[in-house]
Structure 1
Amino acid sequence: MGKALVLELGFEEIPAQFVDLAQNTFEANIRTWLKENRLDYDQLQGFSTPRRFGVIVSNLKEEQPDAIEKSRGPAVSIAKDENGEWTKAAIGFAKGKGLDVDDLTVEETEQGTYVYAVKKVSGVKTIDLLKETFPLFLNIPFPKSMRWGSNKTRYVRPIHWLVALYGDAVVDGSVAGIKAGRTTRGHRFLGETIDVLHADEFEEKLLSEYVIVDPTKRQDAIRQQIGLLEEEHNWNVDVEEGLLQEVTNLVEYPTALFGSFSEEFLQLPDEVLITSMREHQRYFAVHSQAGELLPYFITVRNGDHRHLENIRRGNEKVLRARLSDGVFFYKEDQKHSLDTLVSRMDVIVEHEKIGTIKEKSERTKQLVEKLSSAISESGDVSSNAARAAELLKIDLSTNMVDEFPELQGLMGSDYANRLGENEKVATAIREHYLPRFVGDDLPTAVESALVSVSDKLDTITSSFAIGLKPTGSQDPYGLRRQAAAIVNVTRHFKLSFTYEALRDYAIEISNAAAYPSETESLKDDLDEFFKLRLKAALEERGISYDIIEAILVSPFGRIDVLFDKADVLQELHDTKRLKDVTEALSRVNNIAKKQEGPADVQVALFEKDEERELYDAYVSLKDALGVKLLNGEVSSSFEELEKLAPVIHRYFEGIMVMSDNDQLKQNRLAQMQVLSLEISRFAQFQALVLPS
């Protein structure tokens, strides 16, 4: 038999971005705790609102099942003396396990003969165990916490109530001085404080007090209500998932309504209106069926359908004031030329140790020019990217971005376009921040990609140069995110420069910059940093750990090629084809380690045809492999290595590398070394873990 369980912690409203963290962490911790305590149940569902989180567990068994605990003790040679009597070691082990020494058993294992303590552990009643879950409420890694009153507990917000019901019984215990009970609180303005008599009725009781505790049901309700408004007015509403999730976490009882604003505000760029409504007011923008932005918005109130007209007027008033500011700033900014906006960047400090935004733009332009040359991009692409780099941060000197920082890039693009720059330049300015987070959109053009990579790489390099490296979980400048973005953009556009060229360009420009470098290990620091980012990206792609180890060796080469190599090896990972190739190539790599010093292969010392055949194959590989990898022909590169396998097998069948003749041995080791170096341009095959 089982009963329902409800655990709920109530507090003052927490920021929307913390709600999912609280629910997901607590739910995962409860699942782990139930498993560790051998407590079976039918279903477990987390719930959360801005004022509470917890779990509802259905049919939680009333008692743990009995268990057998088996603990290994000392070896028999230690547990018994020469007369076969128990030693102090055995007596102490038995006592520690709550057994008499004669209850110990002796068992043979692969490691030897040992004594064991075997005892039956009776199951404990669930109601008596559940108080152990209370500390899990406090085990949430909130980014910020506070103290309140005389309470010494630090938490995201002051805690006000705790519900812990197993069936109809209250679980004894407390959290932060708040005693567990059956009393919960409804909606702050519409609901009442109520007693829940049985855990089964918890969700229904709160619904009667205007609280929908299940976030999925709240979100579904919001979608449905927006859909009804769309259908009623023939609108098209872009329900952006991030905004929808945030709104879901801001309300306990959602009601969607619409408002309007003056058509005069439509003179602002669509992005300005949409961003302002989304970021500042949490409104959903409204479009016509043709995709034209309309002077309406949809908002979601935390309450029911009463007094909606007052709510509408209040939201319209707030938006009108904000958009009026936007129109004023927009008109003021357009009074200035691009040259004026560029000159203003010279007084905006990026970092006191690094210099101004204008200096950053100049370094970014140099990087763009070097990268354009490295991938043989010239003419319009190169010039457009370089021009975009000059204008990249002009909007940081505008009134609009000063008031609406989230419009960085968008306003720079708009102003550049309006002041005569071509569409490619304007697009690159708008897209150079992309991607801003995991899963975000990527730039849409090569110019944008070059500018995005250069801007982020300069930020990383200059930060490392003055000692601002990420440490542990601390990364205040988002350098890990920016490095991951460089990897994604470079891979997506198959930009043909190598990682080493990218790094060296950045260091060269950094060394010539006005800011002093505070490290002598910039190259090594960048290599280690990017290696970890590449590893993380490969793991996220589902690449096996051994393949990552095999390919992630210096030099990394082209980033897109690195990922293509991983994909080829992953596809072949459990095949006989890769196993046969790996056995041959690994044999070369392993023997090559015995070569000391530089390799000098003397063809004149070859005694057998197998040596000449392998050398010819090496020369052919050397001519082909580097070019193919540089051109991104990864599958063809693997096929070149595959051709080596039978040649290598014939070589080892006829040649003794470790010859008694020292001159022959050294020459054959040298041959192994030069061949190993070529093989390693694709991967360290000996690192692969393949099925036997």
Structure 2
Amino acid sequence: MTQDFLVEIGTEELPPKALKTLATAFAEQLTAELATLELSHAEVSWYAAPRRLAVRVNQLVAQQADKVVEKRGPALSAAFDEAGNASKAAQGWARGLGIDVADAEHLETDKGAWLLYKQLQKGAATVSLLPDVVQQALARLPIAKPMRWGSSDAQFIRPVHTVIMLYGNDVVPATILGREAGRHSYGHRFHAPDLVAIDHADQYLAVLKDAYVVADFNERKDYIAEHVAKTAADMQATALMDNDLLEEVTSLVEWPVVLVGEFEQRFLQVPSEPLISTMKDNQKYIPLQNKQGELLNQFIFITNITSKDPQQIISGNEKVVRPRLADAEFFFRTDQKTKLADRLASLETVLFQKQLGTLAEKSVRISTLAEAVAGMIGANTADAARAGLLSKTDLMTDMVGEFPEVQGIMGMHYARLDGENEAVALALNEQYMPRFSGDALPAQLESCAVAIADKMDTLVGIFGIGQAPKGDKDPFALRRAAIGALRIMVEKQLPLDLVQLIGQSQATFSDKLSCPTVSEDVLEFMLGRFRAWYQEQGYPVDVIQAVLARRPTSPADFDRRVKAVAEFRNLDAAAALAAANKRVANILAKVDGAIADSVKSELLTEVAEQALYQAIQAEQQYQATAPSYTESLAHLAAMRDVIDSFFDQVMVNADDIAVRQNRQALLKQLRALFLQVADISLLQS
């Protein structure tokens, strides 16, 4: 026998950004509890709307299956005395089970013998277990700050008004979060404000939809996405709606209705980014662009009510957004009265970090390092230095003060209005790239120089005062800064060396740094980021370790080595060569004293060792001019047979000391060949 099970927690409006997380967690935790109790079922569905979380379990069994539980007692040696009488231990064990010792079986294994009783455990009725299942699932929801309400001791993310628990068409008796479970839920706050009855668990969605509530989160989301796209297409426009905004809007409405509003054309004289920001972040509106990518003075919004006069709702939303746009317009006009260069002095009033000084000091350091980096990568040094100096000035504008998310972007716009070079203006925006994982990189080299300088300044500075990240705590986002700098250097294939960069950045701090190992610490930290980064891209761990063992400090060079070793690893000869290299490394590690660099050819008496010597000499000549790491390793792979022959036919640790030392020198040269790109001996077969 099976029935569908439904549980709904009816609440005050839930936090929209947490709604989906709470709903999915509720379903996952409830499913886990059912699994623990061995209650089988079919599909589990979760539902979420602004005033409710719900889970439906299809075809949930009516009762746990009966099962035999084995209860092991004392060892036979302790269960009976010499006369065969049951000991006190055996009697106590039997009494606890409600049986006589004579009722027990004997369990004999290769480890000994024990008393054993097999007890039939009747399965409990599912309905009797469900209240605790729900309680446990709710207790494990990710709620940072639970609330209390009224005089109840119950706690939840928002006050609870109703609880539905239905097994088929029967109410499951329970008190959950201070509310007695029933079959009633509230409909739409305005269209159907009264309680509605759910007669059966499988009627939940249909009954609520009749009450103007689309309880299925994904159904609402799909509806909104489809109708926003259609509305925009009808206007020959593109809707600027990312998934985060779509899910937040979905979490705000029970009965979505798509409408279009507009604002005065004059607001479009303000750069589009702050307008888009305030519409999306503050109002949850969906901005529109034309085919040329220009912002339109129209927007789409989602209302939670079907109105007989939708123009009233449209007008209301237009009135709400107008002051926000007017603020952006005012800030834009006011900010233009002071050039970015004239804001440098104001940076002296803002502390970057107590021991590292102000933003003004950081800007000077960025400028100095950006100029040096630009020279290394062939960028315009003057533009990079200028952009570095102005890099934080837009933080002092009213616009960025009101809309922090447009930092850098407004710097770019204001720099253009100030008459700065286009490279300088673009660098003020691109200095923050990549802003997040997978984000675009700076487009121009001057921007790369400033972005790298900014990130290295933060890394060296914070490490230099002994505040490296610990565990999952990273208040200065040093991991993101390191990955961002490495991505720029690798993906742009910039000829930069971390040791040199760290040293030059360190020099810009004068005497502010107190940690004596800052250069080693930052280098180790950045090399450590490579491991996680390449693993995310699917590279085997042994490939990354093989390259890390050589500690290449040029990120672009590191990348070329990883890709070459990954390709080499797929060759047929790779496993044999890796094993041979491991053997060579072990032999050389056991040698006492120094090993000669040169090989005496006259001491090579075996054909196999002469062949290896000649192959090494030829390979050394090739490797000196090898066009790439990939071709270098592929060429080395051709030595497999001659290496195998050497180990099959030659005894390295010969009795003759001179011969032995000469063969060790030969292996040292072989090892050096295979260490040029990576430590091949670390590759796993």
TM over 0.5, yes or no? yes
2:641 to 642, 646, 658: 646
Q: For 1:154 and 1:625, locate their aligned partners in 2 and report how far apart those are by CA, in whole Å.
A: 70
Aligned to 2:654: 659
User: Relative to 1, partners in 2 of residues 1:320 and 1:472: Cα closer, same or farther, differing over 3 Å?
Assistant: same
Contact 1:561/1:634 (CA < 8 Å) preserved in 2? no
Of 553-562 and 87-96, more deviation after overlay is shown by: 87-96
SS class of match (1:475): coil
Contact between 1:134 and 1:174, CA under 8 Å: does it hold in 2? no
Match of 2:539 among 525, 536, 543: 543
1:412-440 Cα offsets, whole Å, 9 max, x none, are: 11111222233333222212222222233
Amino acid at match of 2:13: E
Distance 1:121 1:569 in 2: 59
**CA–CA distance in 1 between the matches of 2:150 and 2:593?**
71
Which amino acid is 1:53 matched to?
L
Q: Structure 2 counterpart of 1:354, which letter?
A: L
Distance 2:656 2:73 in 1: 56
In the alignment, what sits opposite 1:579? 575
Aligned residue type for 1:197: D
SS in structure 2 of the partner of residue 421 of structure 1: coil
- What is the DSSP-based 3-state SS (H/G/I as helix, E as strand, rest coil) of the residue aligned with 1:234? coil
RMSD: 3.9
The 3 A distance-change label for structure 1 pair 198 and 526 is farther
2:498–2:553 Cα contact (<8 Å) kept: no
Q: Does the CA contact (< 8 Å) of 2:340 and 2:394 recur in 1?
A: no
CA distance in 1, matches of 2:312, 2:584: 80
| Residues 1:471 and 1:86: Cα distance change in structure 2 (over 3 Å) | farther
Q: Deviation per CA, 1:487-541, whole angstroms, max 9, x where unpaired?
A: 43333223343xxx32552254235415633434434543554355333223322
CA contact 1:187–1:252 (8 Å) conserved in 2: yes
Which string of whole-angstrom CA distances, capped at 9 and with x for unpartnered residues, describes residues 317-362 of structure 1? Answer: 2222122222222122222234213333233221222212222223
Answer whether contact 2:237 2:288 (CA < 8 A) is retained: yes
Deviation at 1:264, TM superposition (A): 0.8
When residues 516 and 36 of structure 1 are mapped into structure 2, their CA distance, relative to the original with a 3 A threshold, is same
SS at match of 2:245: helix
Match of 1:279 among 267, 275, 281: 281
2: CA distance between counterparts of 1:9 and 1:325? Answer: 41
Q: Distance in 2 between matches of 1:413 and 1:387?
A: 13
Q: Do 1:222 and 1:256's aligned partners in 2 also have CA atoms closer than 8 Å?
A: yes
Contact persistence 1:7–1:164 (CA under 8 A): yes
With structure 1 as the length reference, what TM-score do the two structures score? Answer: 0.85
What amino acid is the match of 2:139?
Answer: L
Q: In structure 2, how many angstroms separate the alpha carbons of the residues matched to 1:89 and 1:546?
A: 56
Question: Which moves more between the two structures, 193-202 or 669-678?
Answer: 669-678
Aligned partners of 2:30 and 2:377: how far apart in 1? 56
* C-alpha distance after superposition, 1:35-79 (max 9, x if no partner): 343333221122223333332221222233445667999999999
Match of 1:219 in 2: 221
Contact in 2 for aligned 1:594/1:669 (Cα 8 Å): no
Q: Which amino acid aligns with 2:204?
A: F
Counterpart for residue 474 of structure 1: 473
Work out the CA distance in 1 between the residues paired with 2:127 and 2:204: 18
Corresponding pairs, count: 678
Partners of 2:258 and 2:439 in 1: CA distance: 27
Contact 2:612 2:643 in 1 (8 A): yes
Alpha carbons of 1:681 and 1:422: their partners in 2 closer, same or farther (altered >3 Å)? same
Of the candidates 519, 523, 530, which is equivalent to residue 534 of structure 1? 530
Contact residue 456 and residue 482 of structure 1 kept, 8 A: yes
* 1:594 and 2:596 matched: no
1:82-101 to 2 correspondence within 5 Å?
none
Q: Which amino acid aligns with 1:389?
A: G
Normalising by structure 2, we get a TM-score of 0.86
Query: 1:46 corresponds to which letter in structure 2?
Result: W
Change (3 A) 1:210 1:102: same
Could you tell me which runs of 5 or more consecutive residues in structure 1 were left unpaired when the two chains were aligned: none
Checking the alignment, whether the CA contact within 8 Å between 1:601 and 1:667 is kept in structure 2 is no
Tell me which structure has the larger Cα radius of gyration: 2
Q: Taking structure 1 as reference, are residues 336 and 540 closer, same or farther at Cα in structure 2, changes over 3 Å only?
A: same
- Compute the displacement of 1:226 (Å): 1.6
Deviation at 1:673, TM superposition (A): 5.1
1:261 Cα deviation after fit: 0.9
* Equivalent-residue separation in structure 1 for 2:597 and 2:71 (angstroms): 61
| Alpha-carbon offset, residue 462 of structure 1 | 1.7
Distance 2:578 2:73 in 1: 44
CA deviation map 1:279-318 (0-9, x unaligned): 2222211223443322111111233335532332222222
Counterparts of 2:499 and 2:57 in 1: how far apart (Å)?
A: 53
Name the % identity: 32
- List per-residue Cα deviations over 1:87-132 (Å, max 9, x = no partner): 9999999999999694353345xxx678796766544332233222
Is it true that 1:441 corresponds to 2:443 in the alignment? no
Query: Residue 457 of structure 1 aligns with which residue?
Result: 456
1:251-291 CA-partner distances (Å, limit 9, x unpaired) = 22222211111111111122232223222222211223443
Distance of 2:30 and 2:427 partners within structure 1: 48
Structure 2 unpaired stretches of 5+: none
Equivalent pair of 1:599/1:671 in contact (CA under 8 Å): no
- Greater Cα shift, 89-98 or 641-650: 89-98
Q: 1:598 deviation in Å?
A: 5.4
2:6 matched residue in structure 1: 6
- Counterpart of 1:354 (choices 348, 356, 361) is 356
Listed as ranges, the matches of 1:186-585 within 5 Å are 186-190=187-191, 191-373=193-375, 376-380=376-380, 382-497=381-496, 501-510=497-506, 512-514=508-510, 516-553=512-549, 555-560=551-556, 562-563=558-559, 566=562, 576-585=572-581
